[in-house]
Structure 1
Amino acid sequence: ITCNLQNVSPTSLFFYSVPTFLTHIGAIKFKVKYLMSQVKHLICLFSCSLLSRIFYEYVLLTLHLAEVDRRLRIFHENLKTAEKLQALDQGSAEYGVTKFSDLTEEEFRSTYLNPLLSQWTLHQPMKPATPAKGPSPDSWDWRDHGAVSPVKNQGMCGSCWAFSVIGNIEGQWFLKNGTLLSLSEQELVDCDGLDQACRGGLPSNAYEAIEKLGGLETESDYSYTGHKQRCDFTTGKVAAYINSSVELPKEEKEIAAWLAENGPVSVALNAFAMQFYRKGISHPLKIFCNPWMIDHAVLLVGYGERKGIPFWAIKNSWGEDYGEQGYYNLYRGSNACGINKMCSSAVVN
């Protein structure tokens, strides 16, 4: 950039010349030409700096507007998807604008979901759970019995596996000891060497890691940050522990009976429809919710019926501003979205 100084006023030149002039006041020769050139140079630098800043802000604004335009296009495409889900839903769900509406499917999956769950068929076999002693009641909700902590938020981290397992252990600890603790997901994110922190994990691995560590600290002692950091686990702060873990049967009636008798269950499912879910009972077609493409871990806390539609009550980990105060209701009775594929629980003796 060139600077034209022909129109610089004498006043400006004098203002910038005075300090330099005074430093040479005792000299025999003032080197006027040199001083004037220095002043002009300073004014040029100032002008060029201002132009550069204006140009920089212009570039930032252009990039910002381009990103806004891109997000609007993504938003409109997602609205079309939500409308399709709404038109073809077999339950009573309402789909529409959510806090994830400006994300592409790939962005949503890579930020909030768990790609490792797609490998569920390869996970280490777990000990089978002892079947429930009797048939399940018509409805049950562990929120009504004090076994469920408040909804949490995993943030922009694929740590749903940790929240699912921790929620299960909170319930198991409550049922055995009578105290509902909010336990630390961050401990698993940092210290579980079998899983991949924000890049995903498997509940079966998490149970094993907790046994090896010797237990879990509370949320208040080891708070959640939403990113992997150095393991800061302290044995002396262990507030809860587990003795083993079990895998539940894959029949929904048996899952319901076990849940009512033994507590909330760690489960996984296909979360495609969850990006657009607002309320009601979700029952998407298989083309939207392939039961073999599992990618999100959650906590099964109960089941029941609404206006004759059977459903599972699912505690999610995307904050209370998601769905129904942080919960997702899924149709019960057709293994919708693979809800029966990976059901497990810790065992506390």
Structure 2
Amino acid sequence: MKEPIHRKMGFSFVFLMMSLSFFFAFSISGDPGPQVHRAPERAPVPPPVIVPLTLEEIREMIRLNRYNYTVGDTWLSQLSPAEMASLLGYVPPRMDLSHLSEVESDRAPPPPPPSAYDYRSMGMVTPPKDQRNCGSCWCFAGTGMFESRILIEGGPEYDLSEENVLSCNIFNAGCSGGNDFIVTTYLTKYGGSLESCAPYDGTDGTPCADCDIMKRLCGWRIVGSNLDSEDPAKILVVKDALLRFGPVFVSMNASAPGFSLYTGGVFEYWVNGSVNHTVLIVGWDDSLVHSHGTGAWIVKNSWGTSWGENGYFKIAYGSANICEYVSAFTCTAGYDYRETLYYYDEHGWQGSFYSNEYDTWGAVRFVPTENGALERVEFWAVDDMLNYEIYVYDTRSGSSPYTFSGLLSSQSGTVTKAGYYSVELTTKPQITAGDDFIVAVRFNTPNFQYPVPFDDYNPISGQSYSSSDGSTWYNLSQEGHNWDIGIRAVTQQPVSTFADYPGVFSTNSYFVVGNNAYCTDVLGTGKISFGLAAGGVTENPEGRTHTILTTTEHDTGNLIPVGGPAINPVADEFDSIFGITFEYYAGVSFEIFCEGESIYLDLTQYPSEDICIVYLGNESSRNVMLVWGYGWQGSYAGSTFMGDPLTWQTYQDAHMLMLRWTDSNADGLVQMSEITVEVYA
């Protein structure tokens, strides 16, 4: 089993794939053995049946049925039926989801949607990609949905790596198929990284790449199952999800004759079949005509832009079993090096149990590795109506049964669809490294008797507890139940802000430039020195190049690296630690990314325009402030800005600035009046 080796949040464990048989829900108590509730056995999914009709036979079928789409030779025309079947990689989730409903019971009916809607016209859909001869459609649909959700939340357009999700997921799901549960489990733990770091290979066995995290997934919900219908009410459920959350992940039957050869129009196929492919619905149009009437979904596929309508297709509502299963991403979070995600449910939601039907408490004990504040609690909701109560305790006493005491924080709420949720705590207790804390959640699901989510893959942590009343707690492992409960905790280390600058560089501080630094990088350190002195610092930081900086100075000193990663290895090192990345296309563009924000430079405007990032961070109990831009002008603009207390004091509550310098008087020099702050956090 492969484990990601890129930097990730929280604990990581290597898990072994165990038995494929599955007990969905269990009843437990303190003494007797488990009363097993076995899920209905899922019949093995047969391989897709590809009917090898010729192009002319398909055209005749279209004519006879008066279908409204066209076909032609595509790159899939050359594939054998077996090769075509290998592209269809949707494997249904392990869980029995038959208890879930399509409609949120406590939500008022949504207003009538518009007759047409298309996220492409809003710039909220990234370009279609090509999964090639690999059953990785599930990975492309999930990653594409993640990219769109980031755009909808106001983030930059990322080209995220499908390969890392494909090769590094804990289930070892690859070209043989997967689903959105696997994508969600991966992205909630490890987040998404750039395609440029881990390019798509499209084969099994590709090693995991060590990549920086751009964003992490913090919200996912199951919209519904069995929505593959012409029923207006079911169509409305999918439209409502699209309007609320963005493009949605859906399953369909792609074995339908003619689909692989589709070149345009409204695809339709009305023979019921097994779903075997996943795609991304990005919009709809009620006016599109087909043999059953009007109305079609607009869909992004993963067979390249030479297929279909530049990689997209339109399909009649309910046709080819599209929307048999639908899910949506609802929340993303920028990568923050200060945060740590603690969890033991490495495989996510794999089943659920109760000790008191419909209303059971679950708890997980964590031992933090760093000081900080407990910011959020995250968990899986296994039913469409969940009332939760969160309690954070400081102390565990006894020995199965246990008691928890020292309440640090509590709050409650309700979620109305099964999925993954992140709850920001109103009271954020301080956490001390090495001092354990317990997160307990009361799961109340009025319509489903097995409310507590668990992961039953080995190895098991032994840190999960259950209670029927919230007072007396049993350790699941000690009671013979090898499960890890799906409760997670997100902590955040304390951070310096510009309110602390320049005092944090008053002693044991060093400017660091690259051996081949621009002279303006050195001059920039003088600008910053002036700002430090104006802020009351009496001991000026000493200057170093990256090679004469001693090991002790590097490991313990407060550092101010000036100049970009291309010429300053120390800047490159701390960029990686703080999650600062960039994308460079020679002669075209340069873009800096950090904490879900970005700043873009059109290189046709350089050298009359440049950009810069200033980042104040903490690492190993010392402070580091990075100042660098694309060219020397950007780095010097950042140094000039940080040399003037009247400017940086305006952003005293921030720790990151993204600046743009524009040579407004065309003299080639950097003046303060030409510098603007575009992003701060």
TM-score (norm 1): 0.69
Q: Which amino acid aligns with 2:76?
A: F
Question: Is this contact kept in 1: 2:51–2:81, CA < 8 A?
Answer: no
Partner Cα distance (1:183, 1:230) in 2: 17
**Which residue does the alignment assign to 1:38?**
none
Partner Cα distance (1:225, 1:233) in 2: 15
Partner Cα distance (2:168, 2:52) in 1: 41
Partner Cα distance (2:120, 2:175) in 1: 28
**Which residue does the alignment assign to 2:240?**
257
Q: How does 1:103-114 map to 2 (within 5 A)?
A: 103-110=79-86, 112-114=87-89
Q: Which amino acid aligns with 1:282?
A: F
**Which residue does the alignment assign to 2:265?**
280
Alignment partner of 1:217 is 2:193: yes
Question: Is this contact kept in 2: 1:75–1:102, CA < 8 A?
Answer: no
Go from structure 1 to structure 2 and tell me whether the alpha carbon gap of 1:108 and 1:124 turns closer, same or farther (over 3 Å shift): same
Cα offset, 1:84, TM superposition: 4.6
Cα offset, 1:87, TM superposition: 3.0
Go from structure 1 to structure 2 and tell me whether the alpha carbon gap of 1:90 and 1:300 turns closer, same or farther (over 3 Å shift): farther
Partner Cα distance (2:121, 2:61) in 1: 31
Partner of 2:164: helix, strand, or coil? Answer: helix
**Which residue does the alignment assign to 2:214?**
239
| Candidates 111, 131, 140, aligned match of 1:134 | 111
| Candidates 155, 160, 167, aligned match of 1:183 | 160
Q: Which amino acid aligns with 2:217?
A: I
Partner of 2:153: helix, strand, or coil? Answer: helix
| Candidates 143, 158, 163, aligned match of 1:166 | 143
Partner Cα distance (1:272, 1:85) in 2: 15
Which blocks of at least 5 consecutive residues in structure 2 are unaligned?
1-49, 228-233, 333-681
Question: Which of the pair has the greater relative contact order for Cα pairs under 8 Å at 6+ separation?
Answer: 1
Cα offset, 1:222, TM superposition: 1.9
Question: Is this contact kept in 2: 1:299–1:315, CA < 8 A?
Answer: yes
Go from structure 1 to structure 2 and tell me whether the alpha carbon gap of 1:126 and 1:346 turns closer, same or farther (over 3 Å shift): farther
Q: How does 1:24-63 map to 2 (within 5 A)?
A: none
Q: Root-mean-square deviation (CA), in Å? A: 2.8
Question: Is this contact kept in 1: 2:161–2:192, CA < 8 A?
Answer: yes
Partner of 1:266: helix, strand, or coil? Answer: strand
Go from structure 1 to structure 2 and tell me whether the alpha carbon gap of 1:157 and 1:126 turns closer, same or farther (over 3 Å shift): farther
Partner Cα distance (2:98, 2:296) in 1: 29
Partner Cα distance (1:331, 1:282) in 2: 6
**Which residue does the alignment assign to 2:132?**
155
Q: Which amino acid aligns with 1:280?
A: G
**Which residue does the alignment assign to 2:178?**
201
Partner Cα distance (2:220, 2:309) in 1: 30
Cα offset, 1:124, TM superposition: 10
**Which residue does the alignment assign to 2:358?**
none
Question: Is this contact kept in 2: 1:167–1:299, CA < 8 A?
Answer: yes
Cα offset, 1:314, TM superposition: 0.5
Partner Cα distance (1:115, 1:145) in 2: 29
Partner Cα distance (2:326, 2:51) in 1: 34
**Which residue does the alignment assign to 1:100?**
76
Cα offset, 1:301, TM superposition: 0.3
Cα offset, 1:199, TM superposition: 0.9
Go from structure 1 to structure 2 and tell me whether the alpha carbon gap of 1:198 and 1:89 turns closer, same or farther (over 3 Å shift): farther
Alignment partner of 1:327 is 2:303: no
Alignment partner of 1:301 is 2:282: yes
Which protein has the bigger helix share? Answer: 1
Which blocks of at least 5 consecutive residues in structure 1 are unaligned?
1-73
Partner of 1:136: helix, strand, or coil? Answer: coil
The structure with the larger Rg is: 1
Q: Could you list the runs of 4 or more consecutive aligned residues of structure 1 that deviate by over 6 angstroms after TM superposition?
A: 123-129
Q: Which amino acid aligns with 1:104?
A: S
Q: Which amino acid aligns with 1:180?
A: E
Partner Cα distance (2:236, 2:166) in 1: 33
Alignment partner of 1:311 is 2:296: yes
Greater CA deviation, 75-84 or 98-107? 75-84
Partner Cα distance (1:124, 1:222) in 2: 37
Q: Which amino acid aligns with 1:260?
A: L
Partner of 2:76: helix, strand, or coil? Answer: coil
**Which residue does the alignment assign to 1:49?**
none
Question: Is this contact kept in 2: 1:88–1:284, CA < 8 A?
Answer: no
Partner of 1:322: helix, strand, or coil? Answer: coil
Cα offset, 1:239, TM superposition: 0.5
Partner Cα distance (1:147, 1:211) in 2: 21
Partner Cα distance (2:172, 2:140) in 1: 13
Aligned-residue sequence identity (percent) comes to: 27
Partner Cα distance (1:190, 1:128) in 2: 32
Partner Cα distance (2:264, 2:195) in 1: 29
Cα offset, 1:193, TM superposition: 1.9
Partner Cα distance (1:239, 1:162) in 2: 17
Q: Deviations over 1:150-204 (max 9, x none)?
A: 1111111111000000111111111113322121111111111225211110112
Partner Cα distance (1:125, 1:183) in 2: 34
Go from structure 1 to structure 2 and tell me whether the alpha carbon gap of 1:182 and 1:256 turns closer, same or farther (over 3 Å shift): same
Q: Deviations over 1:11-55 (max 9, x none)?
A: xxxxxxxxxxxxxxxxxxxxxxxxxxxxxxxxxxxxxxxxxxxxx
TM-score (norm 2): 0.36
Go from structure 1 to structure 2 and tell me whether the alpha carbon gap of 1:108 and 1:76 turns closer, same or farther (over 3 Å shift): closer
Paired residues in the alignment total 265
Cα offset, 1:226, TM superposition: 1.2
**Which residue does the alignment assign to 1:338?**
321
Partner of 1:197: helix, strand, or coil? Answer: coil
